[in-house]
Structure 1
Amino acid sequence: MGKVYYISKNVGLGLLVLGVSALATIIALSIAYDKEKAKNQGRPGDGAADSTSMPTPPATLFTPKEPWDRYRLPDSLVPVSYNVTLWPRLEPNADGLYIFTGHSAVVFKCVKETDLIIIHSNKLNLTNFHGHLAKLSGLDEVTAPTIQKSWLVVKTEFLVLQLRSRLAVGATYVLYIEFQGELADDLEGFYRSEYTEDGVKKVVATSQMQATYARKTFPCFDEPAMKAVFSVTIIHKRGTVALSNGREIDGVIDGMPVKVTTFEPTERMSTYLLAFIVSDFVSIQSNQNNNLLIRIWARKKAIDDRQGDYALNVTGPILQFYERYYNATYPLSKSDQIALPDFNAGAMENWGLVTYRETALLYDPIVSSTGNKERVTTVIAHELAHMWFGNLVTLRWWNDLWLNEGFASYVEYLGADYAEPTWDMKDQIILYDMYKAFAVDALASSHPLSCREEEVNDPAQISEMFNTISYNKSYLNTFAFDNTEYTDLWDHLQKAVENTPGIHIPHTVHDIMNRWTLQMGFPVVTIDTRTGSISQKHFLLDPDSVVDRPSQFNYTWFVPIKWMKTGVEQQQYWLLQKTVSGQDWVLANTNVSGYFRVNYDLENWSRLLSLLNTNHKVSHLPIHLSNVSDTLHCFSKIISTTLALTTTKYLSKEKDYIPWESVLRNLNYYILMFDRTEVYGALQAYLKKQIQPLFEHFRTITANWTRVPSGHTDQYNQINAIGIACSMGVRGCRELIRGWYRQWMETPNHNPIHPNLKSTVYCSAIAFGGTEEWDFAWMKFKNTTVASEASRLRAAMACTKTPWLLNRYLEYTLDPTKIRKQDATSTIQYIAQNVVGLPLAWNFIRARWSYIFQQYGKGSFSFSSLISGITKRFSTEFELQELKKFKEDNLHVGFGSATLALEQAIEKTTANIKWVTENKAQVLKWFTEASK
């Protein structure tokens, strides 16, 4: 294809802009999104780790011989409805095990003649009925075939029933099964969560079905396209409450010390959206949304301390916003949201019963920070977005997971912005998501959004898929309670384009979007203002890397570009083969609205740098975000490293959060590459020089740190000012931090540190201190009843520079009584972020890989972050060889959902080695001269 480029016509052009221009942002979110990495990820000051993973094909070719050898269900049977009864025991049995029992009856229809019934079942003990593992009967006077034999297939997680004769096409049957399972603490399926309240151990039975764990709870057709209606009954102990997707319609106490709660039948839905919970939690509620019942559930103390109030206050407005935005009424009779002590993901969009980590739903008005509050808002907005896009209309198979996740990751900012309009949430999408997408999609080992179905088969591959897309209101109405593929969305977007006056695009939505979804990567667009020419090239972290995935589009894209130049604000029209030239500055991809990077001729770079250093406010965000970010991502030898660093010189004049945060995130690469070398001293001196004015600015406007900045993002930038100033040695900063922390140690029941600053102060004080400071933090961590406070302390304890404390902390991650299983891998990552802790964490992982993999790696979709987090600093040939040996030594163990993350770690380390070798000397020289 020819090199053709388009510039968007109007930011507000409704569906087209959402479907094409803003879609660039959504594509970025697709790539950046690792299922609830995104939601485990904290806001400023939360100290959370990140990760990104994409799917990988099977390591070895497996040729199935029988239908039950395949990971996908046959297409001969379709479920219609389930009747499920569960009875979780919240006390251990004689063997010390927590169990649940139950029975299920699934009504299914035969659509293709077959003598096999294949249904998912995993880790369940099934009752034997006269030699068989199920009972089969017919409906509507249909006679069911007899069962010849039945067996379980461990590899593909199937229950197989071989029948003596064939099922009749069009006939409906009922399969009845009784079962027992373990209510384990593995955070999967129907599992056990524990917490202590008032010195008493409490047990919660809760669930996480996505992606392939419903089959661990009851036998079912556990694929997203196999939608059905579910009627649920839960038997539970008196004094506890049972919750499920539907609203409870009856609660009967029989002669036994149990209660039987039944729920209204669900809408037609997928198994991965089911939820079952039994606890002694309490709730607060509202009925303001057209009499819709909205409830927030949590531990009694959390509710009593009003930690659920904020979530309740924003849920109603966000739901109302989405109803207008989607032009579709919320389809259920209630909206429950519950905060769980143990939860592997950040949150899960179960239809009608959304589950959260406590840090993602609870906000303490006294203890929690502005960042905690923002996180609650954005996570709620993300999960509620799924109630329509994902739950009402659902992907057909996991290879199109981006249809769910990227879109929710985009509109969460819109929902949060509606709930909190003073926060400028839509500006932050670039920081929190776009740049992460750039980082992973610049690798030769990246992957297209829409991969082939056969590349996503077993549970580990499915877990790697957690990634998006735009929408159309008619799309939701057409496919309500049904399943779709990405091509359905393009069809409906195309209809919207054709039916919207004033919109013209020279290609179809399919033509434009297939280049973004069916091939990996993104372009760097080069504008030569001397000649007016515009060209594009596939951007790669290492330009010498080999891309072994062919593309029918030859790695060219239709690129929607917004641009501006001197005196002309935001050009917003479709540009086809037009020139961009002039004697004054030109800036493309303003506000980073397009998913691509930009380069210019040296003359234009010079004009932009001059503008940045003399009048950096003239164009505000466009200059800061696209100019600074693009220049610092200079791995591809497109521009010189010194030119990239020169764009940061103006920072001593900058006071705004987003430009500072953007630069700091990009400069972090330099810190990671050089904080173990002689370069770091000069780098530290330069950053000290740049951050000092910001530190003094906040000291002044807060009256010597006694007040809180009024602006939402100003509060975040105060965190940057203190955190960077202390780590770079600005005079007075360390004394300030130590004083606050020491005052807290001397009066443990009165914390003088403002919640916004706690993460930074805790980390810095523990880094500057010793055993006494660490042990105090551990004591407060064990005793706090506020999840966000526990999360801050857990991250801060990884900041110590004392090796034996870090090694002890690593050992704690293997003990669930010290560090919850949900927090184990992120705690290891926190330690690895510490320059002293990196080698300790790396040795720890290598020595215990088999155990860690068995505990966390087989299906957890956040597991890949462990590899990517530990290897971020790797930049020497020795580390590369260690990484390769680690891979070789553990092939027999496996890497599960971290398989591709390991390949990407090797690729990134290789690129880091080359970049450091080529740039170390000039970077040292530049920082040395710039710090004078």
Structure 2
Amino acid sequence: MATITRFLETFEPSHYDVYIDINRGNKEINGKSTITGVAHTKPVYIHQKNMEISAVTANDQDVPFSVDNKTESIKIEVPEMGETTLAITYKAPLTDSMMGIYPSYYEVNGEQKQLVGTQFETTFARQAFPCVDEPAAKAKFDLAIKFDEKPGETILANMPEKEEKDGVHYFDTTVRMSTYLIAFAFGDLQGKKTKTKSGVEVGVFSTKAHDPKELDFALDIAKRSIEFYEDFYQTPYPLPHSWQLALPDFSAGAMENWGLVTYREAYLLLDPDNTALDTKQLVATVISHELAHQWFGDLVTMNWWDDLWLNESFANMMEYVAIDAIEPDWNVWELFQTTDVPAALQRDATDGVQSVHVNVENPAEIDALFDSAIVYAKGARMLVMMRALVGDDALRKGLKNYFAAHKYNNAKGADLWNAVGDAAGMDVASIMNTWLEQPGYPVVTASVVDGKLTLSQQQFFIGEGKDVDRQWKIPLNSNYDSVPKIMSDKTIELGDYDKLRSDNGQPFRLNVGNNSHFVVKYDQTLLDDILKNIDTVDSISQMGILQDFRLFSEARQVSYADVVPLLQGFADNQSTVVNSALYRIAYNLRKFATPNTDEEKALKSFYGKLSADQYQRLGWLAKDGDSIDDQLTRPTILNAALYSENSGAIATAHKLFDENKNNLVALPADIRIFVLRNEIKNYGSEELFNKLLDEYVQSTDPSFKSDLSVAITSTKDSRMIAKLIEKFEDSATIKPQDLRAWYRGVLDNSAGEQAAWDWIRNDWQWLEDTVGGDMEFATFITVTAAAFRTPERLQEFKDFFEPKINTPGLTREITMDISIIETRVSLIEDEKAEVNAAVKKAT
């Protein structure tokens, strides 16, 4: 049995009749899975997990079977190969794991309630009903769901309900689809519906703990996203409806179940009257991401999990394409540049990182593939690069042909490249495979050598890295027409620099638009020319200069001490992308300053100098005439001003708190987090701490709850920190889905670091029992590593995690994070004095 990796090779399903009876009271599932298909071998294997199988028939005859929990299988001795109908009767637990079928908990008017939903990606459908739980094992499904129904409750599923009979809800037959995309949910729901131009019914649903107006924004974005995709893909939405459902307990951000997309409440619901623009952008892009999947991932699905990027990278790009089209004033591609791009560049520079395409077999390792910085962010950047190369006309034509060729079936990465390449008349595959199959990315060094402008490529590493002579086909995107579109060689010579500079009349630059996945190291001649003319350079390119400064500083190719004097030259820039890159560097300087020392005091003064003029210009409250950039930059500047201990900023925040203390949720959402955190840090008391914690428990506003979490975890009071740690395992206060954010908040607080680190080491088994097996479990290790910067913490990290290094799904994360901390510790020890001296001199 250990040699079998694909159950589809033994049994190929074509149709399921699934009956599931769910009892919330005794937390039990009883069901029968009837699967029609073709038996290719004797015996056949069907997936199950944590089930008690009571009977199995093949073509209506009882047959011998055995259950192996280690391989999550049922071995069935079918009498013959060929067309076979299997019927499997089973019992399973209804667990609180946020996987399979599970209850979400919430409260309305003091009454505790449950909403039951599903999460089947990656390999959790087998916890709900016996099935061939592999993406290529597509079939049609007839669902029949019975539950301990109460008056007024609603049930939703992938397809419309066709009838309810004797307490059983029967749904229309699905289209041909993968098991991980099956979904249903039931409970006391409210919803709002509309229709697209083409007649698709669109709905948004939530519990009644929320104000109905919180559904309006999502309904509008969902409707317009589907209309956009139908036009862009030139392929109709293939189902009669598209439901969006907010689940109170949900481990992922959202899940693209076909026709019934599920979300964390924070990524679907918002108050239209008081929500920050960046939160609206986030919610909109999450919705459009999931709806992009309805074609790319659902209609055409990756053949196996090694091509997960084919789903996620594409949806990650398309979320920005869609929102940019339906809300052009938001300049949402700038959000891509300030979130996805830096995440991808940082992660992908560490030796040992996974490539976008990764071979995988073990179910535990499948979940580890969901490295957001690689499969989502880098993969999306790779596709943005491809889109810029071929253009939208060829991309749309290629996608239309791709969907037509593979709809209701499965595909591999090569199928996408071939479709787009044929449409573009270009060998897209040979270019993109250099990015897909190799980890990391190149640094292109641009230098003037003997009067000639010369480019060379080499893999870029932060920290130790083994150079194995990787080479990429790099879309250079230069502002000089004589530069080739693609750099395939290790080194190219572009001609006489003085003549090129004279002919073009502007500084030489590469990666204009910052769309290609590489960094540029200019020699001093070229860099000085850019910096001298920086005011003539567009904001994305200015951001790119700062981005590369930061990465080269992290990689020890330049010193942070040399970058510090350059920052003031960007401080008055009004572009949000420039400010984001500027303060990302400033934030990185904090690791060199020991808390509560003169060096930290100097750094705070430097922050004050950087932010003073912008703080004066923007202030705390929105003004008539504020640009989109102003709205998005204000939080960055307020954060900097408060860190600098600007007395005016602190006093104004305190005044705003006092004016709204009886209704804190009414504070303007874009500044609320800073007002609350300022109050805890500078005017904190046990009474205030308890008040905010109570508000967190009582509130149903996801954005407000997030702000409260950040504020509460910033307390410097050791007694309050101890109280917080006690709440980590109290799901009535902190839901397991939100625990990582609370843990990170306390860990990043110098007053709470030790307590948080002690907790995770002492209660690791509890954590593993509670959220282990979830695709985000390994990120608790990532978060821990991100906070550590001393040799002592490095040793403690190794002592604790190295014994766990062979745990499936954790190996790569532990190995990489040890390397990341080692690199950080070495950098700090070597450059600390020099950097702090530069900061002091710059203040």
> Structure 1 length as normaliser, TM-score?
0.83
Equivalent of 1:75 in 1, 5, 9: 9
Q: Is the 8 A contact 1:563 1:590 kept in 2?
A: yes
Residue number in structure 2 paired with 1:834: 749
Residue number in structure 2 paired with 1:37: none
| Structure-2 change in CA distance of 1:783 and 1:636 (3 Å) | closer
Residue number in structure 2 paired with 1:806: 721
Higher relative contact order (CA 8 A, sep 6+): 1
Find the aligned partners of 1:902 and 1:750 in 2 and give their Cα distance: 40
Find the aligned partners of 2:243 and 2:95 in 1 and give their Cα distance: 24
Residue number in structure 1 paired with 2:388: none
Equivalent of 2:635 in 719, 729, 732: 719
Q: Name the amino acid aligned to 1:247.
A: P
Residue number in structure 2 paired with 1:390: 297
Give the CA deviation at 1:573: 4.7
Task: Within 5 Å, give how 1:645-664 maps onto structure 2.
Answer: 645-664=564-583
Find the aligned partners of 2:90 and 2:215 in 1 and give their Cα distance: 36
Q: Is the 8 A contact 2:122 2:366 kept in 1?
A: no
Task: Within 5 Å, give how 1:308-387 maps onto structure 2.
Answer: 308-387=215-294
Q: Is the 8 A contact 1:463 1:860 kept in 2?
A: no
Residue number in structure 2 paired with 1:88: 22
Residue number in structure 2 paired with 1:633: 551
Find the aligned partners of 1:475 and 1:301 in 2 and give their Cα distance: 43
1:601-641 deviation per Cα after TM superposition (whole angstroms, max 9, x unaligned): 112222222233xxx3x222243221111012123333343
Equivalent of 2:457 in 536, 544, 549: 536
Q: Does 1:903 align with 2:808?
A: no
Residue number in structure 2 paired with 1:31: none
Q: Does 1:915 align with 2:842?
A: no
Give the CA deviation at 1:172: 1.3
Residue number in structure 2 paired with 1:482: 409
Q: Is the 8 A contact 2:514 2:541 kept in 1?
A: no
Q: Does 1:521 align with 2:435?
A: no
Q: Is the 8 A contact 2:638 2:649 kept in 1?
A: yes
Give the CA deviation at 1:764: 2.3
- Identify which range, 439-448 or 485-494, moves more after superposition: 485-494
- Identify which range, 378-387 or 791-800, moves more after superposition: 791-800
Q: Name the amino acid aligned to 1:458.
A: P
Number of matched pairs: 804
Give the CA deviation at 1:751: 5.1
Q: Is the 8 A contact 1:441 1:521 kept in 2?
A: yes
| Structure-2 change in CA distance of 1:664 and 1:709 (3 Å) | farther
Q: Is the 8 A contact 1:194 1:204 kept in 2?
A: yes
Q: Name the amino acid aligned to 1:187.
A: M
Residue number in structure 1 paired with 2:601: 681
Give the CA deviation at 1:915: 1.2
Find the aligned partners of 2:704 and 2:808 in 1 and give their Cα distance: 32
Q: Is the 8 A contact 1:88 1:205 kept in 2?
A: no
Find the aligned partners of 1:384 and 1:312 in 2 and give their Cα distance: 12
Find the aligned partners of 2:174 and 2:614 in 1 and give their Cα distance: 54
| Structure-2 change in CA distance of 1:122 and 1:88 (3 Å) | same
Equivalent of 1:248 in 161, 165, 184: 161
Q: Does 1:116 align with 2:43?
A: yes
Task: Within 5 Å, give how 1:686-835 maps onto structure 2.
Answer: 686-699=606-619, 705=621, 707=623, 710-745=626-661, 748-749=662-663, 753-768=667-682, 769-835=684-750
Find the aligned partners of 1:556 and 1:643 in 2 and give their Cα distance: 30
Q: Does 1:403 align with 2:313?
A: no
Residue number in structure 2 paired with 1:642: 561
Q: Name the amino acid aligned to 1:121.
A: Q
Find the aligned partners of 1:831 and 1:546 in 2 and give their Cα distance: 35
1:276-318 deviation per Cα after TM superposition (whole angstroms, max 9, x unaligned): 111110211112332211111111242x431101111121111
| Structure-2 change in CA distance of 1:822 and 1:771 (3 Å) | same
Task: Within 5 Å, give how 1:861-900 maps onto structure 2.
Answer: 861-890=775-804, 895-900=807-812
Find the aligned partners of 1:890 and 1:449 in 2 and give their Cα distance: 25
Find the aligned partners of 1:765 and 1:564 in 2 and give their Cα distance: 49
Q: Does 1:621 align with 2:539?
A: yes
Q: Is the 8 A contact 1:833 1:869 kept in 2?
A: no
Give the CA deviation at 1:897: 3.5
1:537-581 deviation per Cα after TM superposition (whole angstroms, max 9, x unaligned): 100001x4346xx6xxx311111011226xx9x989557845173
Residue number in structure 2 paired with 1:611: 533
Give the CA deviation at 1:126: 2.1
Residue number in structure 1 paired with 2:144: 233
Residue number in structure 2 paired with 1:14: none
Residue number in structure 2 paired with 1:45: none
Residue number in structure 2 paired with 1:64: none
Q: Is the 8 A contact 2:559 2:831 kept in 1?
A: no
Find the aligned partners of 1:865 and 1:273 in 2 and give their Cα distance: 24
Residue number in structure 1 paired with 2:76: 161
Q: Is the 8 A contact 2:246 2:268 kept in 1?
A: yes
Give the CA deviation at 1:752: 5.3
Partner SS for 1:190:
strand
Q: Does 1:458 align with 2:366?
A: no
Find the aligned partners of 1:323 and 1:175 in 2 and give their Cα distance: 38
Give the CA deviation at 1:667: 2.8
| Structure-2 change in CA distance of 1:882 and 1:606 (3 Å) | same
| Structure-2 change in CA distance of 1:322 and 1:214 (3 Å) | same
User: Once superposed, what is the RMSD of the aligned Cα atoms?
Assistant: 2.2
Partner SS for 1:415:
helix
1:854-896 deviation per Cα after TM superposition (whole angstroms, max 9, x unaligned): 2212x211122211112213222222211111124546xx755
Give the CA deviation at 1:910: 1.1
Find the aligned partners of 1:709 and 1:688 in 2 and give their Cα distance: 26
Find the aligned partners of 1:179 and 1:446 in 2 and give their Cα distance: 41
Find the aligned partners of 2:551 and 2:217 in 1 and give their Cα distance: 39
| Structure-2 change in CA distance of 1:557 and 1:824 (3 Å) | same
Q: Is the 8 A contact 2:788 2:821 kept in 1?
A: yes
Q: Name the amino acid aligned to 1:538.
A: Q
Find the aligned partners of 2:665 and 2:660 in 1 and give their Cα distance: 5
Find the aligned partners of 1:279 and 1:873 in 2 and give their Cα distance: 40
Q: Name the amino acid aligned to 1:99.
A: E
| Structure-2 change in CA distance of 1:780 and 1:324 (3 Å) | same
Give the CA deviation at 1:461: 3.6
| Structure-2 change in CA distance of 1:74 and 1:271 (3 Å) | closer
Structure 2: runs of 5+ lacking an equivalent: 384-394
Partner SS for 1:134:
strand
Give the CA deviation at 1:678: 5.2
Residue number in structure 2 paired with 1:18: none
- Identify which range, 209-218 or 282-291, moves more after superposition: 282-291
Find the aligned partners of 2:259 and 2:576 in 1 and give their Cα distance: 37
1:656-706 deviation per Cα after TM superposition (whole angstroms, max 9, x unaligned): 21100122123322223434365333222212101011100112xxxx736
> Structure 2 length as normaliser, TM-score?
0.91
Residue number in structure 2 paired with 1:53: none
Give the CA deviation at 1:74: 5.3
Percent identical among aligned pairs is 26
Give the CA deviation at 1:69: 5.8
| Structure-2 change in CA distance of 1:647 and 1:898 (3 Å) | farther
Partner SS for 1:218:
coil
Residue number in structure 2 paired with 1:105: 34
- Identify which range, 674-683 or 882-891, moves more after superposition: 674-683
Find the aligned partners of 1:749 and 1:917 in 2 and give their Cα distance: 47
Residue number in structure 1 paired with 2:58: 136
Give the CA deviation at 1:850: 1.7
Q: Name the amino acid aligned to 1:638.
A: Q
Give the CA deviation at 1:80: 0.4
